[in-house]
Amino acid sequence: MHDHQLFQQFPLSGEKEISVGKVSVPYHIYDGQGILIGGTADLASIELILQNEVLYPIQTQSGKALMGMWVVNFTEASLGPHNELQFSILVAHTPQPPVEDHPLALLKALFINPDARMFCYGLWNNTETAVAYNRELLGLDAQPNQGTIQLNCGQSSSFQFKDESEQLIVEGEVTLAKQTNLAVGWQMLRLFGLGATMRSFSQPYLEANVVNPRGDVIPTNADARSFLAADTPIVQLFDPITDKLTFGETSKNNFQFQPQFIEQFSPFRFVYLEPEPIT
């Protein structure tokens, strides 16, 4: 796992001292399993969330914001094994024209639009080291979680995340397709175009820019480059009959999320570089 070209191109480059001790940089994930549940959220709620940021939500023609939820079990990482729940809102540093209403609109924006960013709104990890790293070096609003992620004989993934006061954040169970089926593949082809579709399945890793909230650690909405390399990402549509998602009543669950697709990543190889101020 460590000899993958992603880690050769972005190797560990040193150590930094944070509240839990010395940690290696940049952030490396060598193995794990994860899913991205993508969909839409209420635009007015998202604009309220972003009111103190210098960011603009990317919206659909029908006036919905685009948002994703990451559920990942990192089994081998530079910070040690840990899990992660993250809510990501699709944004840009400048206003963008509305995008087509489509279940895979979030994926198209990430692949096609160089201005698209993923704003990290909620982030929970189950180890003190991961929480400290994300808060103190990456400027993210990381919090402890009490979470479980279970693969059920490769047929489905069930998960439950609670915050440190044992309040439910989210729980659910989603089916896991064996491969991207032909119908979804055709949807991607028509939506992305042939070139982008081929690149999405053939390039060695996917790149996305993540933006932190403005805060004491990083006072600006800075971009951090991230890279994800899975052997064969699998895309499927969210099925409300077989796929279940329930949010708790915590303060972060205020966006009226409507899931539309699921993307699987395994093994989950990942690099997150430190944020770079916008010039």
- The pLDDT tens digits for 179-229 are 999 999 888 888 888 777 666 666 667 889 999 999 999 999 999 999 999
C-beta separation of 173 from 156 below 8 A: yes
Q: Indicate the average pLDDT of the chain.
A: 93
* Residue 27 within any structural domain of the chain: no
- For 162, list phi and psi in degrees, rounded to 5: -120, 150
What average pLDDT does the segment 32-55 reach? 96
123 within domain boundaries? yes
Yes or no: say if 157 and 228 are a contact pair by the CB < 8 Å rule: no
Q: How would residue 38 be classed by pLDDT, with cut points 50, 70 and 90?
A: very high
* For range 123-132, the mean pLDDT: 97
| 26: in domain | no
Mutual angle of helices 182-192 and 105-112, in 10-degree steps: 50
Q: Kindly report whether the peptide bond that precedes residue 114 is cis, defined as omega within 30 degrees of 0.
A: no
- Tell me the pLDDT tens digit for each residue of 45-71: 999 999 999 999 999 999 999 999 999
We report the CATH number of the domain holding residue 70 as 2.40.400
Q: Which tops the pLDDT comparison, 111 or 53?
A: 53
As a whole number, mean pLDDT of residues 71-75 equals 96
Q: Is 4 domain-assigned?
A: no
Domain-embedded: residue 278: no
- Extract the tokens encoding 271: 């690099």
Residue 18 is assigned to a structural domain of this protein: no
Distance separating alpha carbons of residues 208 and 92, to the nearest angstrom: 12
The Cα 230–Cα 268 span in angstroms is 6
Q: Which of 84, 87, 83, 57 is nearest to 69 (CA)?
A: 87
Give, in order, the Cα–Cα distances in Å from 278 to each of 86, 93, 115.
23, 9, 13
Identify the pLDDT of residue 59: 97
| Count of domains forming the chain | 1
Q: Give which of 34, 21, 16 is closest to 226, Cα–Cα.
A: 34
Evaluated on CA atoms 100, 206, 224, 128, the torsion sign reads positive
Strands annotated E in 80-186? 82-92, 117-125, 142-152, 156-163, 168-175
Q: What is the mean pLDDT of residues 143-150?
A: 95
Helix (H) or strand (E) holding 35: strand 27-42
Closest CA to 160 of 170, 152, 174: 170
Q: Has residue 13 been placed in a domain?
A: no
Q: What is the mean pLDDT of residues 131-150?
A: 96
- Where in the sequence is the domain holding 202, given as residue range(s)? 32-272
For residue 116, pLDDT over 90 is answered with yes
In a domain, 17, yes or no: no
Judging by DSSP bridges, how do beta strands 156-163 and 142-152 pair with one another?
antiparallel
Q: Which residues pair with 156 in a beta bridge?
A: 152, 175
